[in-house]
Amino acid sequence: MKAVMAQAFGGPETLTVVDLPDPKPAVGEVLITTEAIGVGGLDALIRSGALAAYGAAPGRIPGQEVAGTVSEVGDGVDPTWIGQRVWGFTGIYGGYAEHAIAAAETLVPIPAPLSSVAAVTLGSSAMVAHFALRHAHFARGESVLVRGAAGGIGVMAVQLAARGGARAVAVTTSSTERGDRLRQLGATHVLDRAGQGEPDAPASYDVIIDIVAGPDLPSFFTKLAPNGRIVAVGAMAGMPPTDFGTPMITGFQKSMSFATFSADTISPPARRTATADLFAAATRNELKAVVHEVLSLDQAVLAHQRMETGEVFGRIALTPTPS
């Protein structure tokens, strides 16, 4: 099979198309013949070496999620999965390939009206945004700020907050054009990366969903309302300063809180249920899969270059044949 391997830590150029034997599913696993492969920010962080201290290694196939048809099952897996079109989670490796292994407990059938590209565009991004808002105890009528809203998780958080009845959905983003597109998805106020901008934007927010983190994170505590909550779901700008929580302690009387969120803390059945519900919502046109571009597997370098320049709005998907 054709696959893309990150041969060494470094830039997008380290991604190389290789020929490998088809993998075989082990106990509890399935083999998926891929139709679409999600490209995410975590793939780029792993490739660059930014997560080496957390066990990421070179010489592996990137990619966390795929959509396609189950072609083989391992021991202990219901054989009726064979022939079904599914979304599957491959872990932190293994997705950028014509055939990918996924744990059977992660599989979600893809509704007929939903394309495989839409499935991997929604997939983990929509599920993370859904549970991040739940982790923040978001309630109808509250105000939400999505920091770094133009990426895969961000565009889903905007839509889900609006769909959930937020009083206001503000976003931080890098350009007017991106802001206009986010308004079409449900944003009510567009701010710059520092959280400044429209004079009629809320002065404070009940919930901040933060995909960015980095050195500017502490300044966003000043934008929390009393009992406000920041939930960090990523660190695309790097780690925050070690004293990032000082503004929270300084503003003790506002009862602010900060939390991180990882989908690893959600049980597989709950993840499957949420993803299936989100797929169903997309088939009813209640959610939009925001696809920046569809590229072929051998254009993985270009996909990562697009992410490096910050031009991606939504997500890129790869297909195993030229698009």
3-class SS letters over the chain = CEEEEECCCCCHHHEEEEECCCCCCCCCEEEEEEEEEEECHHHHHHHHCCCHHHCCCCCECCCCEEEEEEEEECCCCCHHHCCCEEEEECCCCCCCECEEEEEHHHCEECCCCCCHHHHHHHHHHHHHHHHHHHHCCCCCCCEEEEECCCEHHHHHHHHHHHHCCCCEEEEECCCHHHHHHHHHCCCCEEECCCCCECCCCCCCEEEEEECCCCCCHHHHHHHEEEEEEEEECCCCCCCCCCCCCHHHHHCHHHCCEEEECCHHHCCHHHHHHHHHHHHHHHHCCCCCCCEEEEEEHHHHHHHHHHHHCCCCCEEEEEECCCC
**Residue 126: predicted pLDDT:** 98
The average pLDDT across 241-265 equals: 95
Indicate whether this model's pTM tops 0.85: yes
Residues 6+ apart with CB under 8 A from 250: none
Residue 180 CB neighbours (<10 A) = 12
> What pLDDT, in 10s, does the model give residues 105-152?
999 999 999 999 999 999 999 999 999 999 999 999 999 999 999 999
**Residue 322: predicted pLDDT:** 62
Residues 6+ apart with CB under 8 A from 132: 153, 157, 209, 231, 233, 261
Q: Is pLDDT of 310 > 90?
A: no
Q: Is pLDDT of 192 > 90?
A: yes
Q: Are 190 and 220 in contact (CB under 8 A)?
A: no
Q: Is pLDDT of 164 > 90?
A: yes
* Residue listed under structure tokens 């991180």: 260
pLDDT band at 58 (very low <50, low <70, confident <90, very high): confident
Q: Is pLDDT of 158 > 80?
A: yes
**52-58 own/partner pairs: CB under 8 Å, 24+ apart:** 52/9, 56/92, 58/6, 58/7, 58/8, 58/9, 58/14
Q: How far is CA 286 from the centre of its chain?
A: 19
The average pLDDT across 233-237 equals: 91
The lowest-confidence range among 47-51, 65-69, 90-94, 287-291 is 47-51
The average pLDDT across 40-49 equals: 91
Report the alpha-carbon distance of residue 154 to residue 232 in Å, rounded. 12
Report the alpha-carbon distance of residue 167 to residue 140 in Å, rounded. 7
Phi and psi at 131, nearest 5°, equal: -75, -25
> What pLDDT, in 10s, does the model give residues 13-40?
999 999 999 999 999 999 999 999 999 9
pLDDT band at 255 (very low <50, low <70, confident <90, very high): very high
**Residue-averaged pLDDT of the chain:** 95
Strands 65-73 and 15-19: what pairing? unpaired
Q: Is pLDDT of 246 > 60?
A: yes
Let me know if 301 is exposed, middle or buried by CB neighbors in 10 A (0-12, 13-18, 19+): middle
The average pLDDT across 159-178 equals: 96
**Residue 20: predicted pLDDT:** 96
Report the alpha-carbon distance of residue 18 to residue 39 in Å, rounded. 18
